[in-house]
């Protein structure tokens, strides 16, 4: 397994991380019931396979099935807690509610601290930025660090609007988790160069990317334009994300051990990496 420094956090993370959304969300990407015991067993087996392969970054959130994902990861990881980096999140809310959310996550995850704790957002508005930076939320996050409840703080976003740059430039966050893949390249344009990924790198943030598989959009597009094409694009999509020199870790949702082993093998194949900047050179 390949490992890299995670921004200014001074920890070494595996290039692929275990994304917890598929463990708890019903019918996420495909038909799936997180309450079936056999499905839970598959998730636990996937986590065991990830640990065996050297994956040390595990990401989840209360919103992934009303705590179901956290419960599963907490059960499966309790014997390996000191060997991994565990991340969870909370929606923007008043500071007291934020503390309550964190305490509930810790309970479900069967741990006394998180390595990475992030604000769980899709697209932040100006009022969200004000609430975070000047409404007590950031102060509460920093207090969590001071109390040893979390080691590092960050935020997640599906886009790269002004709010994302405001969070980067405030100088208080350690981590950015951003949507980035072959279709959704808004965080990084190598030709300008421009993008939130570059700004996060300059600020020393650890950079994790989500939706490497485009949440199935790329595959559906291929099926529409070429219905007879049954090529498996999994390796190409993962390698594109890992080929970005500024991406520390690509978070990948996996529901069984076979998927884990397949994706780890892709990550280990360094010959599959491409020169992103050269690929996007137009002249």
pLDDT tens digits for range 113-126: 999 999 998 899 99
How does pLDDT run across 42-66, given as a tens digit for each residue?
A: 999 999 999 999 999 999 999 999 9
Asked if residue 274 belongs to a domain, the reply is: no
How does pLDDT run across 82-115, given as a tens digit for each residue?
A: 999 999 999 999 999 999 999 999 999 999 999 9
Residue 163 to residue 104: CA distance in whole angstroms: 27
Q: Which domain does 259 fall in, by range?
A: 3-269
CATH number at residue 123: 3.20.20.100
The rounded mean pLDDT for the chain is 93
In the predicted structure, residue 250 carries a pLDDT above the cut 70: yes
Asked if residue 275 belongs to a domain, the reply is: no
DSSP string over 227-240: TT-----HHHHHHH
pLDDT number for residue 199:
96
Residues facing residue 116 across a β-bridge: 87, 152
Q: Are 96 and 66 in contact (CB under 8 A)?
A: no
Residue 280 to residue 195: CA distance in whole angstroms: 15
Asked if residue 241 belongs to a domain, the reply is: yes
Residue 177 to residue 159: CA distance in whole angstroms: 10
Mean pLDDT for 246-266 is: 95
* Total domain count, the chain: 1
Asked if residue 276 belongs to a domain, the reply is: no
Per DSSP, 30 falls in state S
In the predicted structure, residue 280 carries a pLDDT above the cut 80: no
In the predicted structure, residue 71 carries a pLDDT above the cut 90: yes
SS3 115: strand
pLDDT number for residue 29:
77
Asked if residue 29 belongs to a domain, the reply is: yes
Asked if residue 194 belongs to a domain, the reply is: yes
pLDDT number for residue 283:
64
Asked if residue 278 belongs to a domain, the reply is: no
Asked if residue 88 belongs to a domain, the reply is: yes
In the predicted structure, residue 282 carries a pLDDT above the cut 80: no
How does pLDDT run across 152-168, given as a tens digit for each residue?
A: 999 999 999 999 999 99
pLDDT number for residue 26:
86
Confidence of residue 75 (pLDDT cuts 50, 70, 90): very high
């Amino acid at each position: 397994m390949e490992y890299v420094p995670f921004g200014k956090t001074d920890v070494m993370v595996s290039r692929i991380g275990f994304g917890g959304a598929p463990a708890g969300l019903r019918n996420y990407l495909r038909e799936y019931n997180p309450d079936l015991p056999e499905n839970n067993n598959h998730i636990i087996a996937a986590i065991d396979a990830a640990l065996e392969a050297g994956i040390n970054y595990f990401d989840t959130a209360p919103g992934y099935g009303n705590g179901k994902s956290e419960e599963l990861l907490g059960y499966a990881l309790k014997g390996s807690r000191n060997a991994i980096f565990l991340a969870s999140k909370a929606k923007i809310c008043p500071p007291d509610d934020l503390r309550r959310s964190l305490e509930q996550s810790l309970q479900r995850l069967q741990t006394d601290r998180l390595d990475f704790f992030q604000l769980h957002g899709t697209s932040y508005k100006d009022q969200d930025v004000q609430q975070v930076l000047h409404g007590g939320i950031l102060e509460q996050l920093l207090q969590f660090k001071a109390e040893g409840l979390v080691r590092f703080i960050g935020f997640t976003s599906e886009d790269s609007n002004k709010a994302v740059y405001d969070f980067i430039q405030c100088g208080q966050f350690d981590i950015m988790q951003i949507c980035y893949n072959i279709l959704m390249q808004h965080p990084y344009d190598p030709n300008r160069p421009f993008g939130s990924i570059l700004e996060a790198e300059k600020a020393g943030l650890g950079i994790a990317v989500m939706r490497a598989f485009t949440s199935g959009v790329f595959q559906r597009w291929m099926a529409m334009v070429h219905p007879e094409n049954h090529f498996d694009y999994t390796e190409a999509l993962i390698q594109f994300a890992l080929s970005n020199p500024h991406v520390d870790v690509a978070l990948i949702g996996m529901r069984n051990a076979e998927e884990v082993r397949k994706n780890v093998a892709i990550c280990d194949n360094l010959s599959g990496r491409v020169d992103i900047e050269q690929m996007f050179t137009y002249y």
